[in-house]
Amino acid sequence: MTLLPKDTPGDTDWFVHDRFGLFIHWGIYAAAARHEWVKKYEEITDEEYQRYFDHFDPDLYDPRAWARLAKQAGMKYFVVTTKHHDGFCLWDTQLTDYKAPNTAAGRDLIKPMVQAFRAEGLKVGFYHSLIDWHHPEFPIDSVHPQCNDEEFLKANQDRDMSKYAEYLHGQVRELLTNYGKIDVLFPDFSYSGRPGTELLAPGKGKDDWQAEKLIEMVRELQPGIVINDRTEIPQDYVTPEQMQPHGWVTRDGEPVIWEACHTFSGSWGYHRDEYTWKSPEMLIQMLIDSVSKGGNLLLNVGPNGRGEFEPRAVARLEAVGEWMRLHSRAIYGCTQSEFDAPPDCRYTQNGKRLYLHLFAWPYRNVYLPGLGGKIAYAQLLNDASEIKMIDTSKVGSGGGKWLSSLGADTVILDLPVQKPNVIVPVVELFLK
Ligand code: GLC
């Protein structure tokens, strides 16, 4: 049975159709090149962290090249970190000096990015950090870089969260007013579900940054926008992070719209010395797996300090793009199938077209229980070559002694011995 999540306030039609987006984590932490949480992990003070601000000089930044790569990879939307937890702003905000125009970049880095991605036909999304390790009024919580500094902690009593909330709301207003239509808002950082973070948390998170009021403003400024639930108020979709759920994601037993977000290598921001990179095969399988469970995939790149996607990222985007060139109709507009896929496979489905994604190439035959009498035609998607079938609902036990244990509801596909030369082969099944 195909699941259908309930309607939500935002316009999610395009979102559940398009399925695949690019996440971009970029900021002055790219200069440190060892995780976007480097300030926290190394307990770096504002004074020391200033060196990344002073040396951030993305002289090779070419957002049109980024947008082209994303489009070629088959991505239909992008979500960029306007501000991450370190508080650095990529756009020309009027509310702080801690922004790209005041670095060697000398300009608003968001504006040309939005223009470039829109020009390639991608929808636009903004990630925005709810917490802030630079703003003087943001209280020191248990994830703050200086939370172990007794002296620093004393200053907490003078910090006024309501002033920070005003700043936060003001910045979100700028972002949703000055850059045209914004399709996605990805506020980030929920305290709940992170054991220990509540301890020093200034309050209950969502009350502190006045999430309800924030969302009200966002909906007023950008009526169709799609918003995640990380303010801790359920909105349009949920965002499992760096994991693949075991099935369609639910909340209170109800299916919801969801999007898995993943890194290439573990860190979201550029990390020079990280070697735990996922293979193109794994990335493609994650995309398929998400759609087979009714979800999206937001795949992250962390551009480096010169403003480029590094070769390891480019190679993976290109490999995914080559697969998508041949197989995107098994992704766009598809969702979880009404049928259960056989071992080592996933199904995605779009109406009468059922896509069998083969994660392991079997020897000649793959058995599709429950499909007897239901398939009109089958072909490999990469080259539209026919795949012959035996339908046990037609041949019954007369099909020979080998088939007798299968029952009368199975389709047996007769695959070539050689795996087609694509990373994940797909058989397109036309349902009657
Ligand atoms: C987390 C992390 C963060 C990353 C994000 C992406 O909340 O704090 O560094 O931006 O998830 O989903």
In a domain, 2, yes or no: no
Ligand 1, atom nearest to 84 Cα = 10
**Full domain range(s) for residue 196:** 13-330
**Greatest C-alpha distance within the chain:** 84
Residues 305 and 352 in one domain: no
Residues 6+ apart with CB under 8 A from 405: none
In the three-class reduction of DSSP (H, G, I as helix; E, B as strand; rest coil), residue 40 is classed as helix
Residues 223 and 250 in one domain: yes
In a domain, 3, yes or no: no
Rounded to whole angstroms, the Cα distance separating 391 from 411 reads: 5
Return the closest-CA partner of residue 257 out of 244, 239, 231: 239
Residues 326 and 374 in one domain: no
Ligand 1, atom nearest to 37 Cα = 9
Q: Is residue 359 a contact partner of residue 344, using CB atoms and an 8 Å limit?
A: yes
Query: Ligand 1 centroid to 292 CA: how many Å?
Result: 24
Q: Look up the pTM and report it.
A: 0.96
Rounded to whole angstroms, the Cα distance separating 238 from 236 reads: 7
Over the range 324-338, which residues count as b (16 or more CB within 10 Å of their CB) and which as e?
bebbbbbbbbbbbbe
In a domain, 5, yes or no: no
In a domain, 37, yes or no: yes
Per residue, the 3-state secondary structure of 245-261, as one string, reads CCCCCEECCEECCEEEE
In a domain, 196, yes or no: yes
Ligand 1, atom nearest to 189 Cα = 7
Could you list the pLDDT tens digit for every one of the 432 residues in the chain?
556 899 999 999 999 999 999 999 999 999 999 999 999 999 999 999 999 999 999 999 999 999 999 999 999 999 999 999 999 999 999 999 999 999 999 999 999 999 999 999 999 999 999 999 999 998 888 889 998 888 888 887 788 889 999 999 999 999 999 999 999 999 998 776 665 555 455 555 677 789 999 999 999 999 999 999 999 899 999 999 999 999 999 999 999 999 999 999 999 999 999 999 999 999 999 999 999 999 999 999 999 999 999 999 999 999 999 999 999 999 999 999 999 999 999 999 999 999 999 999 999 999 999 999 999 999 999 999 999 999 988 876 545 556 556 778 999 999 999 999 999 999 999 999
Give ligand 1 pocket residues (Cβ under 6 A). 25, 36-37, 188-189, 241, 261, 268
Query: Ligand 1 centroid to 329 CA: how many Å?
Result: 30
Q: Residue 146 region, left (φ>0) first, then alpha (ψ -120 to 50), else beta? A: alpha
Number of separate domains in the chain: 2
In a domain, 72, yes or no: yes
Token pair for residue 285?
């399988």
What CATH number is associated with residue 385? Answer: 2.60.40.1180
Query: Ligand 1 centroid to 129 CA: how many Å?
Result: 9
Ligand 1, atom nearest to 25 Cα = 10
Rounded to whole angstroms, the Cα distance separating 96 from 99 reads: 7
Residues 157 and 264 in one domain: yes
Which residue, judged by its Cα, is nearest atom 3 of ligand 1? 268
Residues 350 and 323 in one domain: no
Domain boundary at 330, 357, 374, which?
Answer: 330
Which residue, judged by its Cα, is nearest atom 1 of ligand 1? 189
Token pair for residue 85?
């937890």
